Amino acid sequence: MDSIVVQGGTPLRGQIPIAGAKNACLTLMPATLLSDEPLTLTNAPRLSDIGTMKLLLESLGAEVSALSDGKVLAMSSHGLTSTRADYDIVRKMRASNLVLGPLLAREHQAIVSLPGGCAIGARPMDIHIDALTAMGAEIDLRDGYLHAVARGGLKGARIALRFASVGATENTLMAATLAKGTTIIDNAAREPEIVDLARCLRAMGAQIEGEGTPSIIIQGVDRLHGATHAVVTDRIELGTYMLAPVIAGGEVECLGGRLDLVAAFAERLHAAGIEVTETAKGLKVRRNGERPRAVDVITEPFPGFPTDLQAQMMAMLCTAEGASVLEERIFENRFMHAPELGRMGARIDVQGGVARVTGVDRLRGAPVMATDLRASVSLILAGLAAEGETIVNRVYHLDRGYEQVEQKLSAVGARINRVKGI
């Protein structure tokens, strides 16, 4: 397994290009299942999760070609051969469940494995199941698989999600495009990735209004056609690299960055005393010498502070002036990076979903273990500020969601490299 080695203490200066959004691309790719005409995505990120979704779609009989060095995905689902998403692929990535809505809509049936590590029964997909059931699907859980059938096709319905789940909103939105009649999704998630999905579906001929608000209205159509769509900028990669100069010092311009994608996050940086400015090409972040101030953070659905930036923000707050409180409200167990940061000298006290971080003058490099995708990048960020060498082990998590992290950070002056493992 590869490791990343970081020598801390160098201020950063320069530009970092931000890729297309992983989470948008992972929901745009299954949208190909809704049509027998080609769907082409441009600005796709080059990540192992995208490769996993490609394998899943191919296992269903779709054709997926990665062109232009992987930045363009040309897909076609004219000859689907299967409606079964196998455990072997789904266990690698929860987002595999996003084939459920499209398969039900187009093929009127789907068998989709539940992702691994689930609580007893169907709880982690209960919101998806309730929504699709309201549209006339019959869904049973057997042998770890959801068996879903929509006899005579899905029907439009008014659906209030119990929680604004991103995945459930995406599955329901895709399913509703080909349902008979009108679907209204209340308490819909408002994330930019959902807006991007709605734009792509509209380019394919879907009738959708209200994306980005809590009520999405979809008028079902008989068929969708082909389209070409550019994937929206990755706001999580953007926020991650915005934090790099805050932690290491210096000034970095994130190319393609947009303030509307990271408004709640940028507001917290501002409160911490960090300058964020919009430029013609993106967003520029500068730390002028002083340590950032401690700030409190609560993760919430969009437009609130994203849970996917919580670990990176914690890495920054470890060296801030004063004590901060971070409250994680989306996922129950998302502070696995805290003990690893502790190995680098951070002072973090975790009680349930609340972490208290007392800023220290300086972190010290150490060997640490990446436990998940965002945790791994938070350890790299911490390494940029630490004295000496930080070795981040198990970086396969990182490759799921960050393309060319070493190249992007070394281009702005960081001393970082990858050590190939067995």
Indicate which residues carry an active-site annotation: 118
In sequence order, the β-bridge partners of residue 227 are 39
Distance CA 153, CA 27 (A): 22
**Binding footprint of ligand UD1, residue count (CB under 6 A):** 20
Residue 403 DSSP one-character state: S
Distance of closest approach, residue 317 Cβ to ligand UD1, in angstroms: 19
Q: Is 242 in the site for ligand UD1 (CB under 6 A)?
A: no
CB count in 10 Å sphere of residue 1: 11
Contact between 77 and ligand UD1 (CB under 6 A)? no
Least distance (Å) between residue 331 CB and ligand UD1: 5
313 binds ligand UD1 (CB under 6 A): no
Least distance between ligand UD1 and beta carbon 406 (Å): 22
Verify binding: residue 237, ligand UD1, rule CB under 6 A: no
Query: Is residue 7 within the footprint of ligand UD1 (CB under 6 A)?
Result: no
- The SS3 assignment for 256 reads coil
Q: Binding marks (x or -) toward ligand UD1, 146..185, rule CB under 6 A?
A: -----------------x-xxxx-----------------
Q: Which of 15, 42, 307, 417 binds ligand UD1 (CB under 6 A)?
A: 307
- Contacts for 399 with CB less than 8 Å, ≥ 6 apart: 47, 48
Query: CB under 6 A: which stretch of 117-125, 320-328, 363-371, 410-418 binds ligand UD1?
Result: 117-125
Q: Which two tokens stand for residue 392?
A: 């981040």
Binding range to ligand UD1, per CB under 6 A, among 63-71, 101-109, 121-129, 221-229: 121-129
Task: Select the residue interacting with ligand UD1 from 4, 6, 25, 26 (CB under 6 A).
Answer: 26
Q: Classify residue 48 as exposed, middle or buried by CB count within 10 Å of its CB (0-12, 13-18, 19+).
A: middle
Q: Hey, is 208 helix, strand or coil? A: strand
308 interacts with ligand UD1 by CB under 6 A: yes
One residue of 23, 319, 390, 393 binding ligand UD1 per CB under 6 A: 23
Q: How far is the CB of 98 from ligand UD1 (least distance, A)?
A: 7
**β-strands 84-85, 109-113 pairing:** parallel
Residue identified by tokens 């997909």 is 125
Nearer of residues 137 and 252 to ligand UD1, judged by Cβ: 137
Nearer to ligand UD1, 6 or 93 (CB): 93
Find out whether 419 and 3 touch, Cβ atoms under 8 Å.
yes
Question: Cα(228)–Cα(41) distance, rounded to whole angstroms?
Answer: 6
> Judged by CB, which is closer to ligand UD1: 121, or 163?
163
Of residues 191 and 406, the one with the C-beta less far from ligand UD1: 191
Q: What tokens does 162 get? A: 């119990």
Whichever of 95 and 366 has its CB closer to ligand UD1, that residue is 95
123 Cβ partners below 8 Å, 6+ apart? none
Beta bridge partners of 76: 63
128 binds ligand UD1 (CB under 6 A): yes
Give the separation between CA 54 and CA 63, rounded to whole angstroms: 9
Q: Which amino acid is at 159?
A: I
Tell me the pairing of strands 12-17 and 215-219.
Answer: unpaired
- The total number of residues shown for the chain amounts to 422
Q: Which residues contact ligand UD1 (rule: CB under 6 A)?
A: 23, 26, 94-95, 123-128, 163, 165-168, 193, 307-308, 330-331
